[in-house]
Amino acid sequence: MKTKKSKVLIMLSIAVIFFISSNSSYCDAYSVKYKTTTNSQEKETINESYNSRKVAYITIDDGPSKYTDDILRILDKYKVKGTFFLIDRNMKIYPEKVKKIVESGNTAGLHSVSHDIHKLYKTSISAKEEFDLNNQTFYEITGRYSNLVRLPYGSKPYASKESYNNLVNAGYKIWDWNIDTQDWKSSSSEIVENAKKLDMYVIIDWHILSDGDPLMHKEEAKEFFREMSLKYKDYPNVIYEICNEPNGNVTWENNIKPYAEEVIKEIRENSKKSIIIVGTPTWDQEVDKPVKNKINDELVMYALHFYSGTHTEWLRERVKEALKDIPIFVSEWGVSDASGNGGVYKEETIKWINFMKENNLSYAVWSLSDKNESSALLVSGASANMVTENSLSEAGKLIKSVIKD
């Protein structure tokens, strides 16, 4: 839809973790001094300066990423330093950002190659081997080594004593924690787990809209779906929608399909059987465009978005024709016009519901929220904890009635 709306996304962001310390030797302040060397066997040394004051450590995991420059600017603005724990593949994607971290006086540590506990702790030496490779990549980019590491997900309960000791004996300093704040319980994890218990699907969505062209953030999308598909590879209820509503001067041949093929490749490395929804041109309404140039993947579906007050019989005819050749998933539709407002179009909504039933189309309604707009299914101010008949808006009552039928 053309008008920008606020939408809820399932997204992962960089974790910024604060450690408040007092007497623990793990938490005493220390700084890593890098040493430039041509000897691949020579490692940095760590000078420890102990401080009796309480100290807050700012650490940033899983980078570098598109956010690294912004984080560095914020740190510099407030004249503080952070420690960046870097993943191997991300260093290779953003080598200049790795250099910038070091050159700006911040500390760089290592955060593994795979970021996968099943690979990292496969044997008692596999973690050491990964961090050695991680360190070599860091050296090739910066001419320096780092012996500061953070184990993905923490050392407990995943790292065996032998694995942990092998890292320590190799000279690595492990930045760990002994208090679990459960910040690892991201909203996406809770949503997926709860949906699975209720026998519901979850669509993990890469939500482009104002940027129009999915190619603008292709590398970030590949990184995101690589991580999501690894995390949820064993969840049959997870569906990936890889580019919401491409629009503007964007074509299927030149923009959407090339983007989709690269992102799908990342997902298929981890998840062979997941359904993947690919956006279509003009806010997911030109569903006919992929018909003669389909993606070579039997589990790909093509996105359709519509709003009853704006998209009527002409779009149904287009969809009906496209369905002869491609599978379509209605990943967003509403009872209002395309702005999300303009009233409830009951007659056209019923026509669309009947059309989707007749053609066995799966769909997701926009939106289960109490936003003050016509398409919202709840009245403004409705409780999120107790939804009753009185909580339903005009749109909500209409959708409930047609779904029950």
Indicate whether 193 and 271 sit together in one domain: yes
Number of domains in the chain: 2
Q: What are phi and psi of 333, to 5 degrees?
A: -155, 160
For the beta carbon of residue 142, count every other beta carbon within 10 angstroms: 19
Indicate whether 143 and 197 sit together in one domain: no
Residues of the domain holding 68: 16-174
Indicate whether 167 and 191 sit together in one domain: no
> Are β-strands 328-334 and 300-307 bridged in parallel, bridged antiparallel, or unpaired?
parallel
Q: What is the pLDDT of residue 178?
A: 63
Which tens digit of pLDDT belongs to each residue from 219-232?
989 999 999 999 99
For the beta carbon of residue 201, count every other beta carbon within 10 angstroms: 15
Q: What is the pLDDT of residue 10?
A: 32
Q: Is residue 179 part of a domain?
A: no
Q: Is residue 146 part of a domain?
A: yes
Q: Is residue 3 part of a domain?
A: no
Indicate whether 354 and 255 sit together in one domain: yes
Indicate whether 149 and 205 sit together in one domain: no
Q: Is residue 321 part of a domain?
A: yes
Q: For residue 256, what is the DSSP state? A: I
Which tens digit of pLDDT belongs to each residue from 158-205?
788 999 999 999 999 998 876 666 655 556 778 888 888 899 999 999
Q: What is the pLDDT of residue 326?
A: 97
Q: What is the pLDDT of residue 171?
A: 95
Domain boundary among 174, 209, 228: 174
Residue 24 above 50 pLDDT?
no
- Residue 276's SS3 state is strand
Domain boundary among 121, 139, 174: 174
Indicate whether 56 and 165 sit together in one domain: yes
How far is Cα 111 from Cα 175, in angstroms, rounded to an integer?
A: 10
- Residue 63's SS3 state is strand
Q: Is residue 8 part of a domain?
A: no
Q: Is residue 9 part of a domain?
A: no
E strand intervals along 93-241? 107-110, 148-149, 173-174, 202-205, 238-241
Indicate whether 283 and 358 sit together in one domain: yes
Residue 25 above 80 pLDDT?
no
Domain boundary among 105, 140, 174: 174
Residue 27 above 80 pLDDT?
no
Residue 15 above 50 pLDDT?
no
Which tens digit of pLDDT belongs to each residue from 41-61?
444 433 444 455 677 889 999
How far is Cα 312 from Cα 349, in angstroms, rounded to an integer?
A: 9
Q: What is the pLDDT of residue 53?
A: 66
List the CATH number of the domain containing 166.
3.20.20.370
Q: What is the pLDDT of residue 189?
A: 78
Given a contact cutoff of 8 angstroms between Cβ atoms, the answer to whether 233 and 269 are in contact is no
Taking residues 255-259, what's their average pLDDT? 97
List the CATH number of the domain containing 398.
3.20.20.80
Indicate whether 133 and 221 sit together in one domain: no
For the beta carbon of residue 133, count every other beta carbon within 10 angstroms: 15
Q: Is residue 114 part of a domain?
A: yes
Active site members: 245, 332
Indicate whether 137 and 259 sit together in one domain: no
Indicate whether 200 and 139 sit together in one domain: no
Indicate whether 134 and 105 sit together in one domain: yes
Q: What is the pLDDT of residue 188?
A: 74
> Are β-strands 30-33 and 45-48 bridged in parallel, bridged antiparallel, or unpaired?
antiparallel
Q: Is residue 264 part of a domain?
A: yes
Which tens digit of pLDDT belongs to each residue from 118-167?
889 889 999 999 999 999 999 999 999 999 999 988 887 778 899 999 99
Given a contact cutoff of 8 angstroms between Cβ atoms, the answer to whether 343 and 395 are in contact is no
Indicate whether 235 and 351 sit together in one domain: yes
**Amino acid identity for residue 185 in this structure:** K
Q: State if pTM tops 0.75.
A: no
